């Protein structure tokens, strides 16, 4: 099975080439050429442990790697990196289920994919006889940066630079990045907000000649299919846990509520459903930035709206890149190209009634405010002694609205994307405590009042040496990248 661009079905590459490129040359995203080829017997998948499930799922999506190599990639990717034996444990909370995706080295769900992507990429380079060194450039609003730096640290043949908004992230997120070791890693603070950093990175991709100093550029954002596929696995893992616990019978549909930003995580759920997993509805939870909620309701995507900074910052987004993949599956390449052109030129597009009703078979959206999220954190702690982070809370509040509208006909799994200790100030405030603004003291306070432990990787950041001190302007990014690319070369 090959991959094609969402904007041109004639642009075809192998799965390993798709991982290597990240984005297709025409600006489209890579998708499997034929979804029906992904079908498998999910009962066989859920009979395996997490690694076994990952091997089966990866095998379908990445056929040109071969079975032996997939085995070795999965084993390397998930060995000794996650604190939970099950990798993504499912806990029963107050009649619903929370899928804890934050047990990896940087305490957010992005670790699940960024533990595997470096291995997928370095093996793809070998398979395609790719001689250049690879330089990963990534703009981050916080969580991707630390997970990507950690994942790519000390991977041979690859260097990585992340760009974070100097003032736009939490102190914990900043310390996670600037203390990251590995001779092949660099973190730059950019004077400006996330959009400035992201626009700057997009410009680097357009303007830097390739290869530059024998280095080729690639991306670790969720536009890369190699980031999406590892996330498909935990939809199976949640289903397996429900079956094993006797909560459902094999064949029962399960709904998943997903805190959504770039539409990557929820897209993985759609792919799991295409593979044959009995997924019911995929509930797309948004914060006050409700562009996806409106789209799923009306078919009108409109980015010309105010941008709000919320207490779930990893979901503060106006252009959800992975939605393009869904558009392709529902509308085809020509329409997708037309809609994306309209989005770029006018800031909006409208899909047809027919296309919208197809999307509504699988998806629905709810938006929740910071206040609704905070109330959910307080309530769940009071009723069930469970502490969740601000992103998970938006999803929990969205599943409240879903249950209000549709009733509890199917089991509901809420995806939990970060440890509450990554967003300690907001979580403390939601529990009625005053945050001090000092993340270390606030973590200790949160631990004290909830009786939960501070995750090891987060308590360690306050003691680690700061390795990355560069704060730069957007127009210095080009020179810094060129300098970094030529380091160690004559
Ligand atoms: C990135 C992120 C999200 C959004 O995920 P997408 O795949 O971009 O939709 C939600 N929660 C947290 C904590 C994140 O880091």
For a mutational test of ligand 1's pocket, the pick from 107, 109, 220, 421, i.e. the residue with the most ligand atoms closer than 8 A to its C-beta, is 109
Task: Please indicate whether residue 315, judged by its CB atom, sits closer than 6 Å to ligand 1.
Answer: yes
First and final C-alpha spacing in the chain: 41
User: Cα–Cα distance between 186 and 181 in angstroms, integer?
Assistant: 9
CA distances from 440 to 250, 424, 459 (A): 45, 9, 8
Q: Which two tokens stand for residue 330?
A: 């529902």
Cα 407 to Cα 255, 368, 371, 399, 410, distances in angstroms: 12, 19, 23, 10, 8
- With tokens 């950019």, the residue in question is 190
Q: Phi/psi zone of residue 67: left (φ > 0), alpha (ψ -120 to 50 degrees), beta?
A: alpha
* d(C-alpha 179, C-alpha 464), whole Å: 6
What DSSP character marks residue 134? E
Buried b (16+ CB within 10 A) or exposed e, 49-68: ebbbbbbbbbbbbbbbbeee
Distance (Å, rounded) from C-alpha 460 to C-alpha 457?
A: 5
Residue 170 confidence (pLDDT): 85
CA distance 185 to 177: 10
* DSSP helix/strand/coil, 284: strand
Select from 62, 115, 413, 108 the least CA-distant residue to 261. 108
Q: Kindly give the distance from the C-alpha atom of residue 419 to the centroid of ligand 1, in angstroms, as a whole number.
A: 12
Nearest CA to ligand 1 atom 11: 417
Pairing, β 133-139 against β 215-218: parallel
How far away, in angstroms, is 214 Cα from ligand 1 center? 33
Atom in ligand 1 nearest the alpha carbon of residue 261:
9
Report whether residue 263 contacts ligand 1, using a CB cutoff of 6 Å: yes
What does the DSSP 8-state code read for residue 58? H
Mutate to test the pocket of ligand 1, among 111, 223, 227, 259 (most ligand atoms within 8 A of CB): 259
The single-letter DSSP state of residue 476 is: G
CA angle, corner 362, sides to 113 and 100, nearest 5?
35
314: Cβ below 6 Å to ligand 1? Answer: yes
CA 416 to centroid of ligand 1, rounded, Å: 10
Residue 48, class by beta-carbon neighbours within 10 Å (0-12 exposed, 13-18 middle, 19+ buried)? middle
Residue 316 in contact with ligand 1 by CB distance below 6 A: no
Residue 58's Cβ-side half-sphere holds a number of Cα atoms within 13 Å equal to: 28
Alpha-carbon torsion, ordered 350, 329, 136, 477, to 10 deg: -10
- Integer CA distances (angstroms), 477 to 33, 138, 164, in order: 36, 12, 12
Pocket lining: 110 vs ligand 1, CB cutoff 6 Å: yes
pLDDT for the residue numbered 317:
86
CB of 443 closer than 6 angstroms to any ligand 1 atom: no
Q: Spelled out in words, what is the top-level CATH class assigned to the domain 90-107+226-453?
A: alpha beta
User: Whose CA is closest to 116, among 144, 146, 148?
Assistant: 148
Burial of 249 (0-12, 13-18, 19+ CB in 10 A): exposed
**What does the pLDDT read at residue 408?**
72
CA–CA gap between residue 442 and residue 190 (Å, rounded):
26
Does ligand 1 have an atom closer than 6 angstroms to the CB of 265?
Answer: yes
Q: Would you say the CB of residue 262 lies under 6 angstroms from ligand 1?
A: yes
108 close to ligand 1 (CB < 6 Angstrom): yes
The finding on whether 313 has its CB within 6 A of some atom of ligand 1 is no
- The predicted pLDDT at position 203 comes to 84
DSSP state of 113: H
Q: Answer yes or no: is the C-beta of 143 below 6 A from any ligand 1 atom.
A: yes
CA of 381 to the centre of ligand 1 (A): 22
Q: Is the CB of 264 under 6 A from ligand 1?
A: yes
* Domain chopping of the chain, boundaries: 90-107+226-453
Probe residue for ligand 1, chosen from 222, 314, 316 as the CB with the greatest number of ligand atoms within 8 Å = 314
In degrees, to the nearest 5, what angle opens at C-alpha 61 toward C-alphas 58 and 63?
Answer: 90
Q: What is the best residue among 112, 417, 424 to mutate for testing ligand 1's pocket, by most ligand atoms within 8 Å of CB?
A: 417
Q: Tell me if 138 sits within 8 A of 146, measured CB to CB.
A: no
* Exposure on the CB side of residue 140, measured as CA atoms within 13 A: 29
What's the gap in Å between 263 CA and the centre of ligand 1?
8
What is residue 490's predicted lDDT score, i.e. its pLDDT? 44
Q: Enumerate residues 6+ apart whose C-beta is below 8 A from 37.
A: 1, 60
d(C-alpha 116, C-alpha 113), whole Å: 5
Q: Is the CB of 152 under 6 A from ligand 1?
A: no
Q: Does the Cβ of 260 fall within 6 Å of ligand 1?
A: yes
**Which protein residue has the closest C-alpha to ligand 1 atom 2?**
314
- 211 preceded by a cis bond (ω within 30 of 0): yes
Q: Which residues of the chain have pLDDT under 50?
A: 490
pTM to 2 decimals? 0.95
From the centroid of its chain, how far is CA 349?
A: 25
């Amino acid at each position: 099975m090959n991959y094609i661009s969402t904007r041109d079905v004639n642009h075809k590459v192998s799965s390993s080439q798709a991982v290597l490129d990240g984005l297709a040359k025409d600006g489209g995203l890579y998708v499997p050429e034929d979804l029906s080829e992904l079908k498998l017997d999910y009962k066989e998948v859920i009979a395996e442990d997490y690694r076994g499930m990952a091997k089966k799922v990866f095998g379908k999506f990445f056929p040109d790697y071969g079975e032996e190599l997939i085995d070795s990639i999965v084993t390397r990717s998930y060995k000794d990196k996650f604190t939970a034996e099950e990798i993504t444990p499912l806990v029963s909370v107050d009649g619903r289920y929370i899928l804890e995706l934050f047990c990896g080295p940087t305490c957010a769900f992005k670790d699940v994919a960024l533990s595997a992507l470096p291995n997928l990429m370095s093996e793809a380079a070998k398979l395609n006889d790719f001689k250049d060194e690879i330089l990963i450039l990534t703009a981050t609003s916080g969580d991707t940066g630390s997970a990507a730096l950690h994942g790519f640290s000390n991977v041979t043949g690859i260097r990585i630079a992340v760009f974070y908004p100097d003032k736009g992230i939490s102190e914990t997120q900043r310390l996670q990045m600037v203390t990251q070791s590995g001779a092949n890693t660099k973190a730059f603070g950019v004077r400006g907000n996330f959009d400035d950093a992201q626009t700057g990175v997009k410009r680097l991709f357009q303007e830097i000649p390739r290869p530059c100093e024998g280095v080729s550029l690639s991306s670790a954002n969720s536009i890369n299919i190699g980031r999406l596929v590892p996330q498909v696995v935990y939809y199976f893992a949640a289903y397996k846990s429900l079956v094993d616990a006797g909560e459902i019978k094999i064949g029962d549909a399960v709904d998943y509520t997903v805190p959504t930003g770039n539409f990557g995580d929820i897209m993985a759920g759609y792919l799991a459903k295409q593979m044959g997993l009995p997924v019911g509805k995929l509930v797309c939870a948004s914060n006050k930035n409700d562009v996806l909620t409106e789209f799923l309701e009306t078919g009108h995507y409109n980015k010309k709206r105010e941008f709000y900074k919320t207490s779930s910052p990893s979901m503060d987004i106006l252009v959800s890149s992975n939605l393009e993949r869904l558009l392709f599956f529902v509308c085809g390449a020509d329409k997708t190209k037309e809609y994306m052109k309209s989005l770029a030129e006018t800031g909006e597009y409208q899909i047809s009634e027919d296309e919208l009703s197809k999307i509504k078979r699988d998806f629905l959206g709810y938006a929740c405010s910071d206040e609704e999220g905070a109330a959910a954190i307080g309530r769940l702690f009071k009723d069930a002694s469970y502490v969740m982070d601000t992103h998970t809370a938006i999803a929990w509040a969205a599943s409240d609205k879903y249950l209000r509208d549709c009733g509890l006909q199917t089991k509901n799994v809420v995806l939990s994307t970060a440890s509450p200790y990554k967003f300690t100030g907001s979580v403390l405030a939601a529990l009625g405590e005053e945050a001090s603004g000092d993340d270390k003291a606030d973590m200790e306070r949160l631990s004290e009042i909830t009786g939960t432990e501070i995750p090891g990787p987060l308590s360690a950041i306050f003691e680690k040496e700061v390795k990355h001190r560069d704060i730069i302007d957007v127009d210095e990014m080009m020179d810094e990248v060129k300098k970094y690319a030529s380091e160690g070369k004559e």
